[in-house]
Amino acid sequence: MSSAARFLLAGILASLLCTVNCAQAQIVALRAGKIAGTLVTADELPYWLEKGVQFFYVHSDPFLRLGLNGIKKSLGR
């Protein structure tokens, strides 16, 4: 990927994060019978919790991988 493409992508991601943050802040501030929620990774949970988000969706894949790796270790594989 070229440096120009990386720069453009970084700008798009920053803009997207700004939009998500603004929407989440409005939902939390208005308390109009709505609960702010978002898709997160385990690493992102503290950030969004601090922002007032109350509903989280976390994919099960990382948890399953950790569990399966533990089982493989137990089996010596």
How high is the pLDDT of residue 40?
87
**Residue ranges per domain, the chain?**
3-75
CA distance 12 to 9: 5
Q: Is the pLDDT of residue 7 over 70?
A: no
* pLDDT number for residue 31: 65
What is the spatial distance between Cα 62 and Cα 44, in angstroms, rounded to a whole number?
A: 13
Phi, psi of 34 (to 5 degrees): -120, 150
The model's pLDDT over 13-62, given as tens digits with 9 standing for 90+, comes to 777 677 777 777 776 666 667 777 888 888 888 888 888 888 888 888 88
Q: pTM score, two decimals?
A: 0.52
The closest of 45, 37, 41, 43 to 20, measured between CA atoms, is 37
